Amino acid sequence: MSRTPLVGWGNNGGAVGELILAGERGLPAAITGANERGVIMRGLGRSYGDSAQNSGGRTVRLQSDPASITIDTHAHTVTCGAGVSVDELLNVIVPRGYFVPVTAGTRFVTIGGAIASDIHGKNHHRDGSFGNHVTNIELMLADGSVVNVGPHVGPGNDHELFWATVGGMGLTGALVAATFNVIPIESSSMSVETRRIGDVDELMSRMAASDDDVRYSVAWIDLLAKGSKLGRGVLTNGEHARLDQLSSKHSSRPLAYAERVAATFPPIVPAPGVINRLSVAAFNELWFRKAPVERHDELQTIATYFHPLDMVGRWNRVYGRHGLLQYQFVVPYGADDALRRVMEQISRASLPSFLTVLKRFGPGNPAPLSFPTAGWTLAIDVPAAHPQLPSVLVELDDLVLEAGGRHYLAKDFHTSPDAIRRGYPRLAEWQAVQRRVDPRGRWISDQSRRLQLTTTPARTVGVRHQPFVEHTENS
């Protein structure tokens, strides 16, 4: 028995209930045996809020099965179990000359979680989100039966269920396995272009101008800077390095890949953490000044470019026992003024955002609850206990929604049902599919209750506030 509440990556808002580790054979019983509070699946716990926890009910984690990874070198696709992590996948496919079609800022997410959250990366402006590249999903429904669904309209294929599952936050069923496209690569190195840029206008202009030229693009922004320096940042564009770009040292083993966690942040941190206005201001100044004014063709590892924070295990502990809140939104192109006003509000309030990331999105996909849509997306990490945070977020929500934007469900831990309905105008369409495949409302999470995502009455019978009981179903 574990007496530690199950929490999101933000380390706040813990839940109590059952946590089951199940293999594929034990999954039907784990799902159908849940109590009146229902069940939700969970990957590696990297969603920031309450989307993968179920107070008083059951949370199920599917066992990883790296042996399930198969590569079709003719179709350039991979099939694997949904419990496999991107980290495990990269260790298999990179040495074979492939890369995932999309990766988030961490490789410690499962394939099931990547689809359920429809994760996006630095290449959305070119390649879209993860769901764009999925060709088949093996999905276990609430009654324990299994269906295979794909993205295209055709006889015998429930394409509406496919797109409701992509970005559906695990509320349509348990992802068992998936097939998706992968990117052929010549090396495990990245060719990176870095620019230090002094203000937000120039930064946004350069990002827009590079859409057609680079596959990967992301900007770190200093939101404690004020006045003419507002939004100054560091832009890094990247491509998979070709063989002819490698040094003699790397060309002998061009596809070598062995990323590791260098250190783990200690569990004991002072209550307020080490993230505050002074520490972040000092870090931001150092980070901005150390970046080159302009540098081309620098070779970096995959981890350095895509997953730098993964080098430190449990880095979220730096925020202390009150945890952090990540706030991510997108506003459409043409609403650039709203984006600047958001930055001004954050700067004026001196919110100490250690991680502030700006990216550009291309067109969205057909999934009703997929977050990305053509526009600018900004993500900030702030201490959850910051006294000004609640009032500032209310102001930011208004700016985002009035501009026609929306918030990312995989990061959300504060918005309201009304904000989600305004941001996701196809919510009712998604709810109709969800209700069709789960008429008894077995799939449910703390987030779905809080935001009233599902239309089946929330399960409130038999709530018993106990610590999580961890056990394993037969695999």
Q: Convert the pLDDT of each residue in 284-308 to its tens digit.
A: 788 788 889 999 999 999 999 999 9
pLDDT tens per residue across span 248-279: 888 999 999 988 877 776 775 555 667 777 78
Domain ranges of the chain: 66-185, 189-417
pLDDT tens string 170-204? 999 999 999 999 999 999 999 999 999 999 999 99
pLDDT of residue 457: 57
Is there a contact between 175 and 116 (Cβ–Cβ < 8 Å)? yes
Please provide the average confidence, as pLDDT, over all residues in the chain.
91
pLDDT at 469: 41
Q: What is the pLDDT of residue 319?
A: 85
- How confident is the model at residue 105, as a pLDDT? 96
Contact partners, residue 444, CB within 8 Å, separation at least 6: 37, 38, 39, 40, 54, 57, 171, 454, 456, 458, 459
The radius of gyration computed from the CA coordinates of the chain, to the nearest angstrom, equals 22
Give the type of residue at 203.
L
CB 159 within 8 A of CB 153: yes
pLDDT of residue 472: 42
Q: Assess whether pLDDT exceeds 90 at residue 320.
A: no
Name which CATH class applies to 189-417: alpha beta
- Cβ atoms < 10 Å from Cβ of 285: 13
- Average pLDDT of 411-439? 97
Contact 446, 16 (CB under 8 A): no
The residue written with tokens 């309201």 in the block is 416
Long-range contacts of 63-66 (CB under 8 A, 24+ apart): 63/21, 63/22, 63/23, 63/24, 63/475, 64/88, 64/110, 65/23, 65/24, 66/92
Q: How many CB atoms lie within 10 A of CB 428?
A: 11
Averaged pLDDT, 341-368: 93
Measured CA angle at 357 (ends 356, 360), to 5 deg: 150
Distance CA 351, CA 381 (A): 9
Which pLDDT score, from 0 to 100, does residue 473 have?
A: 43
Q: Catalogue the long-range contacts made by 84-91 (C-beta closer than 8 Å, 24 or more residues apart).
A: 84/110, 84/111, 85/43, 85/44, 85/109, 85/110, 85/111, 86/110, 86/111, 86/114, 87/259, 87/310, 88/64, 90/257, 90/259, 90/302, 91/257, 91/258, 91/259
Residue among 249, 111, 88 at smallest CA distance from 180: 111
Instruction: Judge: domain 66-185, CATH 3.40.50.2300.
Output: no
Look at 37 and 278; give whichever has higher pLDDT: 37
Query: Model pTM?
Result: 0.93
**How confident is the model at residue 43, as a pLDDT?**
96
**225-236 pLDDT, tens digit each:** 888 898 999 999
